[in-house]
Amino acid sequence: MADSPVMNGGHHDPWTRHNQMVLEPLETNDPEVYEIIRKEKHRQRYGLELIASENFASCAVLQALGSCLNNKYSEGYPGQRYYGGTEHVDELELLCQKRALETYSLDPKKWGVNVQPYSGSPANFAVYTALVEPHGRIMGLDLPDGGHLTHGFMTDMSCLVYGFYTSVQVNPDTGYIDYDRLEENARLFHPKLIIAGVSCYSRNLDYARMRTIANENNAVLMADMAHISGLVAAGVVPSPFEHCDIVTTTTHKTLRGCRAGMIFYRKDNYESLINQAVFPGLQGGPHNHAIAGTAHAHLRAFPSSDPYEKSSGSANFDIPYRDLLQVLLWPSNKQ
C-alpha cells in the first residue's frame, strides 16, 4: 500500500496531499520533467528548425491540448456514445467536423470527416481496414521515392497485412513520378486502392491522372495530404478533393494544429465503413483534447484573402514565418 499521510505520521492532512497531487503546477510538482520541457522549449526557440513535417502549434492549440478534455472518455460518435456526460464533447466533435469541412470548402451533403484518428498512421490504417480485405492489393509510392512508411514500406504493419505493391516510383532521370509506369503496373496488379500521397516529393501530384488509372481498375483513390494540408487549405496547391474518394491527413504539419489525424470520405459510399474501422475497429476513446486542438487549428486555417498570408504558404503560416525571421535575426532584434 502506498504511504498515506497517516502512515507518514500525519504531517499532511489528506486535502493538502490531494491539492499537491492535483493542483500543483508541474514546475514544483515534478521539477525533473519540467526541466526537460524547459530545455526542449529553449532548443526549439533558439535552434533552427527546418523539418518539413514539424510546425509550431499556437498557444491556443496547446491550451486546448492541456485542458480538462483529456479526462473524458467518449467511445462512439456524437449522439451515440458508450459513456455518460458526453454532451460537451459531442458539441466539440461536431464543431471540429464542421470546421474541417469548411476549411476545404466541402459540401457536408457529399463529404463527411472522421476527426478521431490518433494520428496520420492510424488514419491510413483505418482506411485500409475499412476498404481492403487482408491480403487485398494496394499501390503506393515507394518510401525511398518519397512515399510514407504507411504507404506500404516493408517494415510497416500495413505491408504485413495487405498485398502492397509500391510500384509508384519516380523516374530516376527526371525525378518525377512515372505515371505511365503506374498505369502499366496497375493493369497487371489490379489494386483495390491507390494512394496519392507523399512525404518527400517536391512536386504537385497529378490527381486527375491517378483518378483515370483508378477508374480503369475499379480502384478507390485515396489521397494522403498530410504534408500539404495547410497548403491545400490556403488554396496554393491543387486540392485532392475533386478527384479522390478518401483524403487522409495529419493535423500537426502545415495545418499547424496538435498531433492528430483526420479521414475525409465521400458520404455516399464510405461513411459507415470508415467510421466503423476507426471505432470500434482500431481505436477506443477519442482524444477529446486533441479534437479541441484540431477544431481550433481549423479556425485559423480558413482560406485567406490576405496576399501576404497566401504568399507565405498557408493561411496560418504568417506566425511561423515571422518567428523564423525573428530567430534568424536574433539577437539583434531581441524584443
d(CA 227, CA 255): 9
Residue whose CB is less far from ligand PLP, 86 or 177: 177
CB of 124 to ligand PLP, least distance (A): 6
Residue whose CB is less far from ligand PLP, 99 or 148: 148
Q: Let me know: does 124 contact 264? Beta carbons within 8 Å.
A: no
Show the binding pattern over residues 281-320: x = contacts ligand PLP (CB under 6 A), - = does not: ----------------------------------------
The helix/strand/coil state of 246 is: strand
Segment interacting with ligand PLP, rule: CB under 6 A, options 57-65, 91-99, 204-212, 220-228: 220-228
d(CA 198, CA 245): 17
Chain position carrying cell 502506498: 2
Single residue of 72, 81, 137, 227 touching ligand PLP by CB under 6 A: 227
Determine whether 324 is exposed, middle or buried from the number of CB atoms within 10 Å of its CB (0-12, 13-18, 19+): middle
CB of 223 to ligand PLP, least distance (A): 10
CB of 225 to ligand PLP, least distance (A): 8
What are the residue ranges of helices labelled H in the chain? 14-23, 26-29, 31-46, 59-65, 87-103, 120-131, 157-161, 179-189, 207-216, 229-234, 267-276, 288-299, 307-311, 318-329
CB of 311 to ligand PLP, least distance (A): 24
Active-site annotation holds for 18: no
Contact call for residue 229 and ligand PLP (CB under 6 A): no
Active-site annotation holds for 252: yes
CB of 138 to ligand PLP, least distance (A): 14
**Cβ within 8 Å of residue 219, ≥6 positions away:** 139, 186, 190, 191, 192, 193, 194, 213
Residue whose CB is less far from ligand PLP, 201 or 321: 201
**Cβ within 8 Å of residue 123, ≥6 positions away:** 117, 248, 249, 250, 261, 262, 263
Single residue of 74, 97, 116, 199 touching ligand PLP by CB under 6 A: 199
Marked catalytic residue, from 252, 287, 289, 296 = 252
Single residue of 55, 89, 115, 120 touching ligand PLP by CB under 6 A: 120
Length in residues, the chain? 335
Give residues 234-273 in contact with ligand PLP (rule: CB under 6 A). Answer: 250
Show the binding pattern over residues 31-60: x = contacts ligand PLP (CB under 6 A), - = does not: ----------------------x-------
Segment interacting with ligand PLP, rule: CB under 6 A, options 63-71, 120-128, 265-273, 301-309: 120-128
Contact call for residue 121 and ligand PLP (CB under 6 A): yes
With vertex at residue 300, the alpha carbon angle to CA 294 and CA 305, rounded to the nearest 5 degrees, is 145
**Cβ within 8 Å of residue 149, ≥6 positions away:** 121, 143, 155, 156
CB of 266 to ligand PLP, least distance (A): 20
Single residue of 178, 224, 245, 309 touching ligand PLP by CB under 6 A: 224
What single-letter amino acid sits at 4? Answer: S
Residue nearest to ligand PLP (CB): 120
Strands 261-266, 111-114: parallel, antiparallel or unpaired by DSSP? antiparallel
Closest CA to 251 of 77, 141, 100, 127: 100
Query: Which active-site residues does the annotation give?
Result: 200, 252
- Chain residues in the site for ligand PLP (CB under 6 A): 53, 119-121, 124, 148, 150, 197, 199, 224, 226-227, 250
